[in-house]
A = this chain, B = another copy of it.
Amino acid sequence: MPESIPANSVGLVTPQSARFSEPLQLESGRTLSEYTLAYECYGALNAARSNAVLVCHALSGDHHVAGYRSMDDRKPGWWETMVGPGKPIDTDRFFVVCSNFIGSCKGSTGPASINPATGQPYGLDFPIVTVRDWVQTQARLADLLGIERWAAVVGGSLGGMQVMQWAIDFPERLAHAVVIAAAPKLSAQNIAFNEVARQAIMTDPDFHGGQYYAHDTKPRRGLALARMIGHITYLSEDAMRQKFGRDLRNGEHLAFGFDVEFEVESYLRYQGRSFVERFDANSYLYITKALDYFDPAAPYEGNLAAALAPARAHFLVVSFTSDWRFSPARSREIVTALYANNLPVSYAEIEAHQGHDAFLMPIAQYVDVLGGYMDRVGRECGA
């Protein structure tokens, strides 16, 4: 709980929710007849409706980007460091929107929601959703909010993939695209890590084919393992060394047993356990699948420049030196494809030891780069 809300926070915020009853045609070929999007907004939309910024969240994120939902909140939103009054995404200037994507478990329709056809939770009957589907739902939310064109669409990791998809699918509806710590598609190694995570969940005897809701249980072990695997890939080897090294949990003495011996083991077990309390295992399956499927260049025989040909936005692409999940080389693939289309691109490779997680952290050079770019976005849109 914050004793008082810091002055540079958006403060107390209220999540909102919108119901869409026009059927959504999904990339898989299936249709979602109706769905809910949970979202949050900060700042004020100006009269010209020109100062709106869409933030796209990543795998385990949600629409609670900044501020506190109550005075009992232990922590603010996941991007508090970047979004707020006077911050890089300045809520004194911008109207900031973030919606939770469908398939998730944070308020938008997903596998834990009730399937109107059966009256039971969807489970694995929920359709596979993709980054393209998410962008469609975000466009409908923009319509609802009366936003014809975003001053910028911004996102890190899986969020950055949504930004790319926005630039391809709705080129006229965004002025700037900010793609952070992303990749144009998953590598075989990325897919491999996702697959082990999914197998951990789906082979857990408490998974019950995804209908664990009816069994008053959930695949706790599997989801915890999935999260532990994920965490290893979010941190650089160097960050792990700095954070834990080979430090022992209980001082100097080796225990020679199978209980927690090293600090890093304790950290991972804690991360696994706590994730189970706040995330739905089926959602983890669906979101990792959306990651696997993202590959806008696939219809163009792998030619990313061809895939990005419709784009009209100005781009900022940001990567982090120690990110081995989506390395700077992956960001440079995006930059090269944008250059090939003669699109205006700024590229920043931030020196950071934190690995993929760096995109969530207030690293000075990163704050400066994003702040400087968003200042320009603000000046252009009259914010």
Contact = CB atoms under 8 A, between A and B. Distances in A.
A188 B258 contact: no
B195 A265 contact: yes
A125 to B, nearest CB: 11
Contacts of A295: 246
B221 A203 contact: yes
A159 B105 CA distance: 46
A307 interface: no
Interface residues of A, number: 56
A269 B198 CA distance: 11
A116 to B, nearest CB: 21
Nearest to A261: B292
Contact of A195 (B30, B187, B241, B264): B264
A280 to B, nearest CB: 15
A193 B235 CA distance: 12
Interface string A108-141: 0000000000000000100110000000000000
In this complex, the member of A27, A205, A262 whose beta carbon has the largest number of chain B beta carbons within 10 angstroms is: A262
B262 A191 contact: yes
Contacts of A44: none
A322 B106 CA distance: 40
B192 A232 contact: yes
A292 B191 contact: no
Number of copies: 2
A264 B228 contact: no
Given A188-B240, A196-B232, A258 B246 contact: no
A339 B85 CA distance: 57
A139 to B, nearest CB: 21
B225 A203 contact: yes
Interface in A216-241: 221, 224-225, 228-229, 231-232, 235, 237, 240-241
B292 A192 contact: no
10 contacts: A29-B256, A127-B256, A188-B237, A188-B241, A189-B235, A192-B240, A195-B265, A198-B258, A199-B224, A256-B293
Closest 3 CB pairs of A and B: A28-B256, A188-B240, A128-B256
Given A196-B229, A246-B298, 18 more contacts: A27-B256, A29-B256, A127-B256, A188-B237, A188-B241, A188-B245, A188-B262, A189-B232, A189-B240, A191-B246, A192-B231, A192-B240, A192-B265, A203-B224, A204-B221, A229-B229, A246-B295, A262-B292
